[in-house]
Amino acid sequence: MRFHESAIFAESATVRAVRSIADPRLKRALRRHARVASLALQAPEAYAVLGPRRQPVLTASHGRSVKDVVDLPSDIQDAFPGDAALESRDPSVALGAPIANEDGDEYGTLWVVEPNTRLWSRRDRQLLAAIASAAAEGIYLRIQSASTPVDEVPEPSASNMLPVSALLWEAPNGRLATALRNGILASVHQGLAEAGTRLPSIREVADRIGSTRYSVLQAYRTLESEGIVETRHRSGVYVASLGEAPAPHLPETARWLGRVLTESYQHKVKVPSLPGLIRRWTASTTIRCACVESSEDYRAALADEIRSQFGLDSVCVAIAPSTAELGSQPLGPDGERIISSSHIIVTTPFHAPEVGRITERLGLPLIVATLDEESSTAGARRLAAAGELVVVCVDRAFADRVLFSIPPAKRSGVRLVTADSSAELAAVDRKQPVLLTDAAKSRLVGEDFRLLAAHYPSFSSRFAERLAPLILQANLEQLRSGPSRSNASDLQPAK
């Protein structure tokens, strides 16, 4: 069994910011903008893609599903391969505008597509640019509010506004309040609006239908008395909650699971079959992972994380601690044999160059594990708070790396203790918290230490992001080649 890694694309700060707010609410907002663009430009198809061209973060559409869009070059032929209308490479079939804010941060692209040849007017371009700009403003506010305290979150802006053209197609024949009520409720029902969506101003509605502003004001007041809209002082008229219960406050893990269940629904994966699907796609084959490091503390931490978190077989491989000591046999007599019989190789940045040359020669995937924020800053936080830090580990190579992360002026406050030194251990004050590595903890069973971190060292989510696709790839290959291919029916929509 061999794995083939896809190309790695470095994410900009803007893309990371978009990824941090990518959720079903943002997808619905994008879908509204796509629908507004379709209606405003009278184009049958519209779609929006956020993120880099070859690795979109989020996609939404009106009139066409974009779930298979994986590329967005300037020539949109690659966006929908196989579509005859786009294969013509005729620029008149589509019109695009960047979803970018005033600071030049580009979040993605908004497109409208016309199957028939069409000459796009200057007004079309300006209108699409305005809608894309409104979408960008909404994304910018979401990014800002994600890092803003709840009591400082700004009021919704026009970027989340329902255009008057989507609310009223033409002047109503009967009561204006009835026409507005039908338009608002239909927009909510179709997913074009939700609680908090800003509605067209009184002046915009009046200009649209040729009525007086007083008549529009009275119609809005009628709808407010019915609980359909709400008026906010010096802000405008917004869609009310319509009596919908607010989302309950849940702990972090429950919120994460809620997002998993929501995305399962969006992908037509039945929730009762989800546990079995996860089991088959992660445990249908045995995957062996070799953890290559010169420090026993890092080797033990990597192996334990891979075994406990992902259920893989993990094996430790020692390597010479420095480039000068590598020689012709950096891995020892059995190291390369163990690596060649493994499926995934994991190391740290300290050994990535030499291990990378070995994995490239053997055709094996390499993952470089980095520390998470808690592990990388635990020592510095303790030094800042108490002026001293005790690190209990197995080997000095690990201890030296801890010192690398400490400013030279503060290294005198660090005390390094090895697990096999009874004298050093006896001198440790059990009332003071210490950094205890998992490798040292396994050797010091029964010792009562106050821990600065439950697991140390621990690794970043990037490590999981790189490892998870390889696990899924191996299991899917096993399922395709084995008798369990029928299990793919879990992905079919319910009838």
Q: Are residues 113 and 19 in the same domain?
A: yes
**Worst-scoring range by mean pLDDT, 11-20, 293-302, 326-335, 474-483?**
326-335
C-alpha 239/C-alpha 185 separation (Å) is: 9
3-state secondary structure 434-463: EEECHHHHHHCCCCCCEECCCCCCCECHHH
Digit-coded pLDDT (tens) for 442-469: 888 878 888 888 788 889 889 999 999 9
Q: Are residues 433 and 355 in the same domain?
A: no
Per-residue pLDDT at 292 exceeds 50: yes
Q: Is residue 420 part of a domain?
A: yes
- The CATH number assigned to the domain holding 300 equals 3.40.50
Q: Are residues 334 and 388 in the same domain?
A: no
**Worst-scoring range by mean pLDDT, 51-65, 269-283, 317-331?**
317-331
Per-residue pLDDT at 310 exceeds 90: yes
Q: Provide mean pLDDT across the span 166-195.
A: 80
Q: Is residue 378 part of a domain?
A: yes
Comparison of pLDDT for 257 and 171, the residue scoring more: 257
| Confidence band of 145 (pLDDT split at 50, 70, 90) | low
Q: Is residue 200 part of a domain?
A: yes
Q: What is the DSSP string of 62-82?
A: ESS--TT-----SSGGGGSTT
Q: Provide mean pLDDT across the span 90-94.
A: 60
Per-residue pLDDT at 155 exceeds 50: no
Q: Is residue 7 part of a domain?
A: no
Q: What is the DSSP string of 234-260?
A: TTEEEE--TTPPPPPP--HHHHHHHHH
Calculate the dihedral angle through the C-alpha atoms of 397, 444, 452, 305, rounding to the nearest 10 degrees.
70
Q: Is residue 386 part of a domain?
A: yes
Q: Which of 239, 255, 281 is the last residue of a domain?
A: 239
Q: Which of 154, 171, 192 is the last residue of a domain?
A: 154
C-alpha 109/C-alpha 139 separation (Å) is: 13
Per-residue pLDDT at 91 exceeds 70: no
Annotate 54-85 with b (16+ C-beta within 10 A) or e (fewer): ebbbbbbbbebebeebebbeeebbebbeeeeb
Q: Which of 119, 136, 154 is the last residue of a domain?
A: 154
C-alpha 390/C-alpha 388 separation (Å) is: 7
| Predicted pLDDT at 474 | 92
Cα dist from 125 to 63, 68, 91, 99, whole Å: 20, 26, 13, 13
C-alpha 18/C-alpha 31 separation (Å) is: 16
Digit-coded pLDDT (tens) for 31-40: 888 888 888 8
Joined together, the tokens standing for residue 85 give 């209308």
Count of the separate structural domains present in the chain: 4
Q: Are residues 422 and 473 in the same domain?
A: no
Give me the percent of the chain exceeding a pLDDT of 90.
25
| Confidence band of 46 (pLDDT split at 50, 70, 90) | confident
Q: Where are the alpha helices (DSSP H) in 41-163?
A: 84-87, 122-146
Q: Are residues 141 and 38 in the same domain?
A: yes
| Confidence band of 102 (pLDDT split at 50, 70, 90) | low
Digit-coded pLDDT (tens) for 395-428: 888 888 888 878 888 888 888 898 888 898 988 8
Q: How does DSSP classify residue 370? A: -
Q: Whole-prediction pTM value?
A: 0.56
Q: Among residues 333, 340, 346, 335, which one has the least CA distance to residue 290?
A: 346
Q: Provide mean pLDDT across the span 338-358.
A: 92
195: domain range?
A: 161-239
Q: Are residues 149 and 38 in the same domain?
A: yes
| Predicted pLDDT at 492 | 40
Per-residue pLDDT at 341 exceeds 60: yes
Per-residue pLDDT at 243 exceeds 90: no
Q: Are residues 413 and 329 in the same domain?
A: no
Q: Is residue 5 part of a domain?
A: no
Give me the percent of the chain exceeding a pLDDT of 70.
80
Q: Provide mean pLDDT across the span 165-182.
A: 75
| Predicted pLDDT at 322 | 63
| Predicted pLDDT at 191 | 82
Q: Are residues 168 and 133 in the same domain?
A: no
Work out the mean pLDDT of the chain and round it to a whole number.
Answer: 79
Q: Are residues 145 and 51 in the same domain?
A: yes
Q: Is residue 1 part of a domain?
A: no
- The CATH number assigned to the domain holding 233 equals 1.10.10.10
Q: Among residues 133, 179, 182, 177, which one has the least CA distance to residue 158?
A: 133
Q: Are residues 364 and 380 in the same domain?
A: no
Q: Is residue 362 part of a domain?
A: yes
Q: Are residues 183 and 316 in the same domain?
A: no
Q: Are residues 333 and 477 in the same domain?
A: yes
Backbone angles phi and psi of 460, in degrees to 5: -75, 165
| 98-107, 171-180, 203-212, 252-261: range with highest mean pLDDT | 252-261
Q: DSSP 3-state assignment of 198?
A: strand
| Predicted pLDDT at 174 | 67
C-alpha 205/C-alpha 225 separation (Å) is: 19
- The CATH number assigned to the domain holding 24 equals 3.30.450.40
Comparison of pLDDT for 88 and 370, the residue scoring more: 370
